[in-house]
Structure 1
């Protein structure tokens, strides 16, 4: 019979696959049946070695979502909260990345990639709503969308 792995080994295995938030790692260890004391010790050790860092995780996650055009603004904040990042850290990370990423540029790139043949002026109402709602779900403000689609290109 094989020996049960300890929480530290399990945490290292999980973190070798992908970056995780502290709460995400805690949840995964809990699901694997480790006790609270062992989880607490493991998380403390992970923090000491900087294997988990919520700010770094949030920055990487936000940068990935922004560069892919999958989330901006409020949708980005919601995603980070779902990843169990604290609101303060999430807002700080988003504010720092707003200087680096322009929502208008992200919108333009996303529209060119996802809807290359879409023309707001000639599209029917159903198609307009479909495109508009797709972009709203990703967090783009309606004012930015109207400005983008009504400008001369």
Structure 2
């Protein structure tokens, strides 16, 4: 059976190498180092080192993820769900959301316009399809209603 080779880099070097490519959350970095075969105690030392030297910052990571998701046209619910899966603390998530303010209604509208090219649904089936798309993107029913019903009012 396949046996894992011992890691070549120290856990701190591996953590810094991962962080040099992009920001990671504390939990995500822990998982990546664990997969690479480092011991839990060594991983904790590496995480502490990165936290002390400000290489690892969950708030900075959350803000970066929020900006990335907004750029992709995702709504607040989807962003929150993704960051919860990556185990970003609720307090940090709230702070990051406050620091990256957004008009979710206009974002939903622009996502709908981009996807459906400004075409209003011809029938109930098509309307339901548009609603599902925006729900999957993470928008609330109020935002979806605004996005789909205000397109032709300009």
Task: Give the direction of change, closer, same or farther, for the CA distance of 1:109–1:49 in structure 2 (3 Å limit).
Answer: same
Q: Report the equivalent of 1:58.
A: 62
- The alpha carbon displacement at 1:46 in A equals 0.5
TM-score by length of 1: 0.86
Structure 2 segments unaligned to the other structure (5+ residues): 1-5
Structure 1 segments unaligned to the other structure (5+ residues): none
TM-score by length of 2: 0.86
Q: Report the equivalent of 2:107.
A: 106
Q: Report the equivalent of 1:79.
A: 82
Q: Report the equivalent of 2:3.
A: none
Q: Residues 2-151 of structure 1 correspond to what in structure 2 (within 5 A)?
A: 4-70=8-74, 72-98=75-101, 101-120=102-121, 123-151=122-150
Runs (4 or more) in structure 1 with deviation over 3 Å come to: none
Task: Give the direction of change, closer, same or farther, for the CA distance of 1:116–1:144 in structure 2 (3 Å limit).
Answer: same
* Partner Cα separation in structure 2 for residue 124 and residue 3 of structure 1: 58
RMSD: 1.8
